[in-house]
Amino acid sequence: TYVVLKVQNLKSTTIDRRGREPCWEQDFMFEICADGKGFIIELWKKGFLWDSILGVLWIPLATVEHATDEGPGSWWTLHSEVIKNGSEIQGTKTPTSHEILLDVYFALPF
Q: Is the pLDDT of residue 76 over 90?
A: yes
Which pLDDT band, with edges at 50, 70 and 90, does 100 fall under? very high
User: What pLDDT digit, counting tens, does each position of 40-52 carry?
Assistant: 999 999 999 999 9
Global pTM reads 0.87
Pairing of strands 10-13, 52-60: unpaired
Domains assigned to the chain: 2-107 (2.60.40.150)
**pLDDT at residue 75 in the model:** 95
